[in-house]
Structure 1
Amino acid sequence: MRAYVAAALMAGPVEDVVAGQRDALLPLWAVLGIVTGVVVLSLLVKLYTVLTIGKCSSNVDMTGKTVIITGANTGIGKETARELARRNARVILACRNLVKAREAAADICASTGRSVALMQLDLCSLLSVRQFAAQVVANEPRLDVLILNAGMMSPPSREETEDGFEATFQANHLGHFLLTHLLLDLLKKSRPSRIVVVGSCGQLVGRLNTDDLSFGPYWFPLLNYCTTKQCNMLFTVELSKKLEGTGVTVNCCHPGFVRSEIAVRSTDVQTWLFNQLLSFYGKTVKEGAETTVYLAVSEEVQNVSGKYFKDCAPTFAVPWATNPAAARKLYDESIRLTQIEEVI
C-alpha cells in the first residue's frame, strides 16, 4: 500500500510537467499553422498574378508611325519604347533627365537595332511643356500615338513646382493635361490616332476634391499619389467625350504592380511597405508595359475610347474615378490652371 501511494505521489508531478509542456506547445503549433497558411496564401497569390498577366498578341508593324512617350528613360516607359521601336515606329523619348534618356536610347538601340529620338520635357514646368509641344508641332509632320507615361510618387514632405502646384499633381496630371491639349491638332491631323494614359488601380482610394486642387494638408503622401491616378481616369473619361468623332481615342490603363523606379524617392512607411510587397508580387517592367503597348498598337481597340484596361483587357473602374460631373469639373479647373483655351 505504501509503495502504491509513493508511486502515485511521484506520478502526479510528472503528469503535471507533461501537461504543462503540452500546453506550452499549443501556441507554438498555432503560430506555425498561421505562418504556414500565410506562406501558402502568398504563393497562391503569386501564382495567380503570374497566370493572369496580360500579353499583347498583336503583331502590328508601326512603320511610318510616330510615337511620343513621356518618362521613357526608365521602367515601363523605356520598355514600351523598346517594343514600339522594335515594331519600327519613330519613337520620341520625352524625358526630364537627358543623361538617363541617352543611356536608355543606347540600350534600346543595342537591343533592337533601331534608334530613337530624344527631347527634353519637365512636366513640373509648364514652360517646359509649352516649349516641348512647340518643338514637336514645328518639326514633326505627324503624331500617331501619345503615351502619357511619366509619373512620380508623392515625396515624404510637400513639394511645389515653379508654377506653384503640388508636385505630384502637376507631374501626374496637370503637365500631361497641358501637353495633350497642345498636341491635339497634330493628333487630329494624323488620325486615326491614340492617346494612352498610364494610370493605376490607386484610383480605388483616390479622394479628389475638385473644389480644392491644392492637395493639402499633406498627411498621407501615398494617398496623394492615388488621387492623381484618380485624376488620370477622370481626365480620360471627359477627354473621350470631347474627342468623339475626331478620329482620336483615349484610354487609361493600370500596368499592374510593377517593380519600377517610381517609388525610389519616397521614404515614408506606407511606401516602404508597398515596395516590399512589390518586390515579391510585382511584375517585371516588360510585363508591366504589355497593356500600354496593347493600347498603342492593337487593332482590337482602334475604335475604343474612354475605357480602363488591365492586363490587355477592359476592366472595372470605380465610380468616383468615372463620375461625369467630377470629370467635367476637373477638366474645367485644369483648363483654368494651365491658362489655355479649350481647343476641342
Structure 2
Amino acid sequence: MSFTHTVLITGGTTGLGFQCALAIAREHPEFLIVITARTDSNSAAATINKTLRQKNVVFLPIDLSNLTTVRSFVTDWETKKYPSICTLVLNAGLQFPEGLRKTVDGIEATFGINHVGNTLLFYLLLPHLVNNVRVVVTSSGTHDPAQKSGLPDAKYTTAEELAYPAPEAAQIDGRQRYTTSKLCNVLWAYALHRRFKSVEGRSMTVNAFDPGLMPGTGLAREYSAPMRWIWTSLMPRIIPLMRALFHPNVHTPRESGESLAWLAASPDIEGASGEYYEGRKKVKSSVDSYNERYQEDLWEWTIKFTAKSPEEISRFEKAC
C-alpha cells in the first residue's frame, strides 16, 4: 500500500506515545506511522498493526541522548524515501530523580534528551516536512509552579547553565531538572511558532501538550524499586480517587494518548498554533513560558550547540 504522508512520534513504543500512535493509525490508515525509541522490546509496531489489522506502523530506533545517532537516524531516513512528514510529535522524555547524569555529548541528560535530542531531530528533518506540518511537543503541567504538582518548581536560568550545571547542582533534586526541561519544551514551542508565523506562505502549526499525570507509564523507570511499584501497580488502580482528591488532570495513558492524537491529527484544530493544551482544553502555560528572553536564549543556544557548520546554523535558524 502506498501512503499519502508520514506521522513521526518520538517515544512511541510505550505509554502515551504508543496510545497516540494507535489512535492515529486507527483514524488514518492512509498515513505511515513511524514510532521511535531506543528499543521496541514489546513489539509495539507489530502490536498496533495486529490490533488494527493494518500494516501502516513501523518502528525505527533512535537514541535522543546521543546526537550522533540522531544524525544517523536522519541519514537513514533519507534512504527510505518515506512520504513527507505531515505530523511530528516530539514526545520522548525521561526523568532522573537522583544524581546528575550526562549524555555522551557531555550535557545534563534530562535537558539533553527531553529538549536537545528532540529539537535536533526536528531541525534535521526540516527538508522532509510538508508545508502545513503540524508539530506537537509533549510538555507537562509540572512546568508551572502555579499547578502545585508536588514536584520542585521549574527554574530557567540560561540554556548554558542547564546543559552544563555547576558541580554543586548534583545535590539538586533531579525532578527539578525534569520540570525545567518541560518548561524548555514550552519555551521552544513558542519560539518556533513565532518564527513560523513570520514566514509568509506557511501554515504550520506548533503546540505544546500537557498529558496530565499518567500513573503506570515508563516515566518512573529510574525511580527506586518501592516508588516504581507504587507508580506502576498501585496508582493506576486509584485514578478516580486521585482525580477527586488530588487534581482532575489525572488520566490513563490511553485517555491522554487519544487527546495527543487529537491535537496531532484532528481537523478540529486546523490552524491553531502557539498554544498550550491540557488534554483537549486550551489553557495558559506558566508565566515564565511566555518570557521571550528565555525563549530566545534557549533557541539560540540550542542551534549553536547542535549545528555542525555555518550552513546548518543558517538553515536551523530559519526553521522553515
Instruction: Please give the residue correspondences for 1:1-344 in structure 2 after superposition, counting only pairs within 5 Å.
Output: 64-87=4-27, 88=29, 89-100=31-42, 103-115=43-55, 116-138=57-79, 139-187=81-129, 190-204=130-144, 205-210=153-158, 211-213=160-162, 214-216=164-166, 217-218=169-170, 219-244=172-197, 245=199, 246-259=202-215, 260-267=217-224, 280=238, 281=242, 282-339=250-307, 340-343=312-315, 344=318
Kindly indicate whether the alpha-carbon contact (under 8 Å) linking 2:86 and 2:132 is maintained by their aligned counterparts in 1.
yes
Separation in 2 of the partners of 1:322 and 1:269? Answer: 38
Which SS does the other structure have where 2:194 is aligned? Answer: helix
1:279: Cα distance to partner?
5.7
Asked which structure has the greater CA Rg, the reply is: 1
CA distance in 2, matches of 1:144, 1:331: 23
Counterpart secondary structure, 1:341: helix
What TM-score, normalized by structure 1, do the two folds share? 0.76
Give the 3-state SS of the residue equivalent to 1:252 in structure 2: strand
Change (3 A) 1:273 1:111: closer
Q: Please list every run of 5 or more consecutive structure 2 residues that lacks an aligned counterpart in the other structure.
A: 145-152, 243-249
> Could you say which residue in structure 2 is the equivalent of 1:46?
none
- CA 1:342–1:312 in 2, change beyond 3 Å: closer, same or farther? farther
Could you give the per-residue CA deviations for residues 293-338 of structure 1, whole angstroms, max 9, x where no partner exists? 1111122321111110012121111110221110011010111111
| SS of corresponding position for 2:218 | coil
Q: What per-residue deviation string (whole Å, max 9, x for no partner) do you get for residues 208-231 of structure 1? A: 111512245031111110000000
Q: Is the 8 A contact 1:291 1:310 kept in 2?
A: no
- 2-side partners of 1:118 and 1:328: how far apart? 34
Per the alignment, in what secondary structure is the counterpart of residue 99 of structure 1? coil
Map Cα deviations across residues 162-184 of structure 1 (whole Å, 9 max, x no partner).
10011111110000110111112
Contact 1:257/1:278 (8 A) holds in 2: no
Compared CA separation, residues 278 and 235, structure 1 to 2 (3 A): farther
Distance in structure 2 (CA, Å) of the matches to 1:324 and 1:272: 40
Q: 1:124 to 1:279 in 2, by over 3 A?
A: farther
In 1, Cα distance between equivalents of 2:183 and 2:165:
13
- Secondary structure of the structure 1 residue equivalent to 2:213: coil
Any idea what SS the aligned residue of 1:212 has? Answer: helix
- RMSD (CA atoms): 2.2
Contact 1:257-1:288 at 8 Å conserved across structures: no
Contact 1:79 1:286 in 2 (8 A): yes
TM-score by length of 2: 0.81
CA 1:274 to 1:296, structure 2 compared with 1: closer, same or farther past 3 Å?
A: same
Would you say the 8 A contact 1:155–1:266 is kept in 2? yes
Deviation at 1:64, TM superposition (A): 2.2
- Give me the whole-angstrom Cα distance separating, in 1, the residues matched to 2:218 and 2:5: 28
